[in-house]
Amino acid sequence: MRYMMRAALLLAAVSALVSAPAAQAPSSATTAVHARQVKRLLIRNAMVIPGPAVPPSGPIDILLEDGLIARMGSSAGGRWPSADATIDATGKYVMPGIVNTHMHWHEERVGPLPIQYERDLYLAAGVTTAREVGGDFEKTKQWRAESAAHKIVAPRIVHYPMLANLVKPGETFNASPAEHRALVRQAKERGADGIKLIGPMDRDQVAATLDEARKVGLPTTVHVAVGEATARDFVDLGVNCIEHFYGVADAALDGIQDFPPEMNYANEIHRFGRAGELYTQKNLNPEKLSKLLDDMVAKHVAWSPTMSTYEAARDLIRAQNLPWYKELLHPSLEEYYKPSMTRHGTFWTGWTATQEVRWRKNYQVWMAAVREFALKGGIVTTGDDAGYLYGSLYGFGISRELELHEEAGFHPLEVLQHATSNGAKVIGMEDRLGRVRVGFIADLLVINGNPIENLRVMNPYGTDRMSYNGQIIDNYSGIVKPGDPNVKSVHGGGIEWTIKDGIPYHVPALVAEVKDLVAKGRGERTRTTSPQQ
């Protein structure tokens, strides 16, 4: 955690306007303890980003009590109850914890992976709530309870199984609408928070599933695929949220996508290669697309686009060479990412420059559609769907997702709204989660830097910043003249504390644990793959 310690020392005053000399920087001014449940936790002197696209204000003190935000204002004067622990947030920014609306826990799916590796990385990236949209039903149910009881170090878990997750291993469910209904009822009885539908689906299956979910009171989200039902059907039949990008453009085509004769949907190269041509189809009708977006808004259908998931498809070499792989990429995942003809999302064999160009153009139209949807009043959220495609690593995926939302045309404050209060709305917790507000759940991030100035400070690896005489400054600052010898590039940023239910998790400690798990995994792999002596 060398870089984080350096960051803590260097970034005592991170705002471009704060001018405290670095020599006075508090190096260990916190008394909070990693992962310890305290009755009263005081955060002192923070710049606060309160929630839905509202600019920061401060400095503000925040008192957390029994996991809730109890007081905000000034703790000076001795009128506030005394705190059991304190975080000095001088020069730091505080915002609500992130709701990741699309993720999966992997223990076996990508090869053996310690579950704590994923939990730590998500917390390190500021994810305090994780909506799992398909996984091992009983495991997730158990982890949801353990997280709620603070028995494990993990984000809060919201459990949206796929219907296939309810069927016993090795069994398959028949395609009838009646069985879809039966499985929805079973999900309700077994304690699901919602249902994740996944295409390709026929319209009668969609109708039955959504109707039954409505009857039993389970919210729904869908990964639309290329099937009979497009986003038009899901929206008309009452789904609550759409994942990814599939299905939305399909519903706006005059006719269907121009698939070539060799198209084989079971071949991941065909499936992902052609998916990257969806939004640039010649028969995409912008009026039809706008009408669909209007109807989504009118029917309160949210959109969780997961832009970071597919980024390797538009820039494979970038995704294969991210600097945090060196110490933080678990060998099971490293192995999973490699090109293959069998593993989901590893369609890189022979990947071409032309395919990347098409994906880039696909992103442009897709991003414009997401922006148009939000401008019409639609709810956009952030999800990472990490652990399948190169580059999409737990936690890092959500950090990158924020950057891509900015690329789609959103102000960083709007991006943070997507990640916080919009996410809370989609999981039905907007009355108590996703804002820095008295009475709300104390899910908060204490950040080494201003995310409005640079969303990349949210990345668990941190980022390079401009230092002037030892102080971090905005690199547009007028005080800097070309050739100025006082300017240095330093590594900084990162979230310092991720607070969930009032419990502070020190991100450098989480990242250190991840490094240990990776080193251990690499050691085991070396032992098992080396020839016997």
Given the rule CB under 5 A, which residues bind Zn ion?
385
Residue among 243 and 453 whose Cβ is closer to Zn ion: 243
Shortest distance (Å) from residue 450 CB to Zn ion: 31
CA 18 to chain centre: 31
Q: How far apart are alpha carbons 171 and 154 in whole angstroms?
A: 31
Residue among 51 and 194 whose Cβ is closer to Zn ion: 194
Shortest distance (Å) from residue 130 CB to Zn ion: 12
If one counts every other C-beta atom within 10 angstroms of the C-beta of residue 51, the result is 21
If one counts every other C-beta atom within 10 angstroms of the C-beta of residue 425, the result is 20
Which residue number has the CB closest to Zn ion?
Answer: 385
Q: How far apart are alpha carbons 132 and 213 in whole angstroms?
A: 17
The residues pairing with 506 across neighbouring beta strands, listed in sequence order, are 497
Shortest distance (Å) from residue 310 CB to Zn ion: 11
Shortest distance (Å) from residue 222 CB to Zn ion: 11
Residue among 132 and 430 whose Cβ is closer to Zn ion: 132
Beta carbons of 427 and 158 less than 8 angstroms apart: yes
Beta carbons of 334 and 390 less than 8 angstroms apart: no
Q: How many residues does the chain have?
A: 533
Token readout for 268 is 């991941």
Residue among 118 and 453 whose Cβ is closer to Zn ion: 118
User: Pick from 306, 509, 455: which is nearest to 391 by CA?
Assistant: 306
Based on DSSP, count helices (H) and strands (E) in the chain, helices before strands. 16, 18
User: For residue 158, what are the contacts with CB-CB under 8 A and spacing of at least 6?
Assistant: 129, 130, 131, 132, 144, 193, 194, 427
- Cis check for the bond before 56: say yes or no (omega within 30 of 0): no
Shortest distance (Å) from residue 494 CB to Zn ion: 26
Residue among 400 and 435 whose Cβ is closer to Zn ion: 400
Taking the CA of residue 91 as centre, how many other CA atoms within 13 Å lie in the half-sphere pointing to its CB? 27
Residue among 50 and 387 whose Cβ is closer to Zn ion: 387
Residue among 385 and 443 whose Cβ is closer to Zn ion: 385
Residue type at position 196: K
Residue among 281 and 392 whose Cβ is closer to Zn ion: 392
Q: How far apart are alpha carbons 329 and 97 in whole angstroms?
A: 24
User: Pick from 383, 376, 455: which is nearest to 418 by CA?
Assistant: 383
Shortest distance (Å) from residue 411 CB to Zn ion: 27
Shortest distance (Å) from residue 289 CB to Zn ion: 23
- Cis check for the bond before 200: say yes or no (omega within 30 of 0): yes
Shortest distance (Å) from residue 175 CB to Zn ion: 22
Shortest distance (Å) from residue 244 CB to Zn ion: 8
Residue among 118 and 513 whose Cβ is closer to Zn ion: 118
Task: Give the CA distances from residue 36 to residues 28, 283, 318, in Å, rounded to whole numbers and listed in that order.
Answer: 17, 57, 38
Residue among 143 and 440 whose Cβ is closer to Zn ion: 143
Enumerate long-range contacts of 258-266, CB under 8 Å, 24 or more apart.
258/282, 258/283, 265/200, 265/226
Task: Give the CA distances from residue 35 to residues 28, 117, 136, 310, 461, in Å, rounded to whole numbers and listed in that order.
Answer: 17, 16, 26, 33, 20
Residue among 197 and 518 whose Cβ is closer to Zn ion: 197
Shortest distance (Å) from residue 193 CB to Zn ion: 16
- Tokens 């997750």, located at residue: 165
Shortest distance (Å) from residue 385 CB to Zn ion: 4
Residue among 38 and 224 whose Cβ is closer to Zn ion: 224
Beta carbons of 173 and 179 less than 8 angstroms apart: yes
Beta carbons of 407 and 4 less than 8 angstroms apart: no
- Tokens 């995994």, located at residue: 521
Shortest distance (Å) from residue 210 CB to Zn ion: 19
